[in-house]
Amino acid sequence: MAERAAFGGRPVTRLRPGNDVAITEDHGIVYVAHLPGGPIVVLEGTAAAIWSEACGGERETIADRVAEAAGVVADEIRGDVDTFVASLVTRGLLA
């Protein structure tokens, strides 16, 4: 379940892995899976970075933090990042 809270008068959303989602990392690749049935989803490169940032701060700033880490302009990737995060939420991997 995503947490919503007011911060400076602005509502923020924090995402976290679903309750039945297992996560493990191997050589910089993030693997996530619904338990107990799977399947395993492999997150490499930018996908792994987005997962990490999605679990580590406000949903509204994920693209900014990924852009900062990658040294690119946030607005150039915001659409793709938001779409990817939305897909993770739809699949129940993030809640």
Residues 6+ apart with CB under 8 A from 63: 74, 77, 78, 81, 82
* Contact (CB, 8 A) for 32 and 22: yes
User: Does 41 engage in binding with other proteins (CB under 8 A)?
Assistant: yes
User: Does 32 engage in binding with other proteins (CB under 8 A)?
Assistant: yes
Residue type, 36: P
Map the footprint of other proteins across residues 44-73, applying CB under 8 A: 44, 46-47, 50
Binding residues (CB under 8 A) for other proteins: these are 17, 20-24, 26, 31-33, 35-44, 46-47, 50, 80-81, 83-84, 87-88
